[in-house]
Structure 1
């Protein structure tokens, strides 16, 4: 991450902590314009992607030449898990932070694989695979904070997504996941709670959780993503309250309530992001506000206009939006003093 981006992130954080007023924040931010391309950030993502891809390739190659028993596979995964965390510890001592976090991330993946192999070895025939993910979730959360690894926390969020959808489908007997319309309202409640935990985490980072200053972004971002996705589905189909009943035909009033709630959320995110200088909130609000507009257009209006007129309107509006955003970006760059 380049120096100006680091400084801008710190200024944004001070703004959210009410240590800078808006005028001072704007004046100081103008002194640190962002560059055209962040090569170091790109390299960090290539490091993570390369490590995960190389590990996946190694596993596939090993499977082609060697078919281990479950016990052999469990021992191998245990060795890989321990080896990755030991490698992370050594890289941490050498002050290679992102290489260290990436090695620990691979250890987290191996840990998930180990839990499932042990689950198959000691299976009682219940088929309760979400329970294994819950165990993984607890261990990964503990490791995330014990090792101060934001990548492991991100993996924990993915595991929670899989576990919550899985346990909902498993306990209901529907054997379907979230995108099978498996109670999106439950995800809305859970995601709201996660986002609130993220806000509390952000406040606690001023005191007892100061060592985990960036972790709140993962909590807040994950909670907002699930909230947005749940409201997206609810705004189209309404709330599926019955699994075994007939297809749920949501009324206009029900869909209007969910659409208004979704629009209010995105408007609130944009205003909060502007007021607190929190670009992530603005990004979520603007992005999903646009998604909502296009969703309403294609589900409620386009069928009355025909496919040709609908595509022309949708494409033209997208092109106009892109040009307007580019104009705004150029004007902001020109306003920054050299």
Structure 2
């Protein structure tokens, strides 16, 4: 018996009915398949996801509450007095234990995805703490802590690949982005442009590379991580474009505050062009992720421009009428592409 959500069950049954009407399957097979689909009223998967998120939060809170106990305070004092390398080693051992225990559970109980990944998240946190103390141990005062983040990035990549963990790979991507930002900041002494780019523009270029890289890894041994890399890259790309449309390629707040919004219009057009491109690509290739990101950030772009240019001067009804026309034209284009796709079939 296939148990699924109500909406998914309706889609599956419609597909079965279509196959029957098209003569692909007979009525007996159709009835058998339809009866095998059982809609589930309550989404236990989502409950499990939020329950484990709450559990991780509760663990963190419990650690702080334990600090109120005298023997814990004494232990913490002794630990604080220990060399940084000892603390780093302790957290490294804890991280290894959490990874090992999580992997063991993943092998024995593969269906319990969220509980297994929760252990991996705790391992990720312990790894970060271990790396922090390691950095303090070997700190030379240069301020080049991006090297430590690069080490952490490499560790997350190796562990994610070894354990086949999507959540650890997500932390790898975030650490990789953090390394890029801190390294370029260190090179520019935290105040200038890097190759003529401020942070939003840097991350726009960086995100394009992440999205492009996601297509490449789809044909490698790490193809397992292609979807999450693609999704993360799109999110970072459109977020960077949005900041770029607001601040332009400026690094000084005082200079930016005196710049006319008209001078930033080109960045807003760039964001709109990328959004429309993502929508068209998503519709042509049945890529809901690209399509949805494009639609959402096209709307965010329009609303942002409304706040910047027309909130005090343009009548609200006029703005939403413009918005309606824009999406009507977008819908017509989508319908055209969809009909072309049907003809090709």
TM-score above 0.5, yes or no: yes
Please say if residues 235 and 258 of structure 1, whose CA atoms lie closer than 8 Å, have aligned partners that are also in contact: yes
Q: Give the structure 1 partner of residue 45 of structure 2.
A: 41
Q: Give the structure 2 partner of residue 114 of structure 1.
A: 130
Unaligned ranges ≥5, structure 1:
12-22, 322-338
1:304 aligns with 2:313: yes
Q: Which has the larger radius of gyration?
A: 2
Normalised to the residue count of structure 1, the TM-score between the two structures is: 0.71
Measured at CA, do residues 244 and 232 of structure 1 come closer, stay the same or move farther in structure 2, by a change above 3 Å? closer
Q: How many residues align?
A: 286
The SS at the match of 1:142 is helix
Measured at CA, do residues 250 and 54 of structure 1 come closer, stay the same or move farther in structure 2, by a change above 3 Å? same
Q: Give the structure 2 partner of residue 329 of structure 1.
A: none
Aligned partner of 1:270 among 257, 265, 279: 279
The SS at the match of 1:123 is coil
Q: Give the structure 2 partner of residue 100 of structure 1.
A: 116
Measured at CA, do residues 258 and 199 of structure 1 come closer, stay the same or move farther in structure 2, by a change above 3 Å? same
Name segments (4+ residues, structure 1) moved above 3 Å: 2-5, 31-38, 61-65, 70-73, 242-254, 309-314
Normalised to the residue count of structure 2, the TM-score between the two structures is: 0.70
Map 1:1-338 → 2, pairs under 5 A: 39-64=43-68, 65-66=72-73, 67=76, 68-69=79-80, 70-71=82-83, 73-96=87-110, 97-98=112-113, 99-174=115-190, 182-202=198-218, 204=219, 208-209=220-221, 212-213=223-224, 215-240=225-250, 246-247=255-256, 255-305=264-314, 310=316
The SS at the match of 1:187 is helix
Unaligned ranges ≥5, structure 2:
12-17, 25-32, 328-345
Q: Deviations over 1:181-230 (max 9, x none)?
A: 9431111111000000112233x1xxx44x744x2121111111121122
Distance 1:37 1:155 in 2: 33
**Shift of residue 293 of structure 1?**
0.7
Distance 2:117 2:107 in 1: 12
**Shift of residue 253 of structure 1?**
6.9
Please say if residues 239 and 250 of structure 1, whose CA atoms lie closer than 8 Å, have aligned partners that are also in contact: no
CA root-mean-square deviation:
3.9
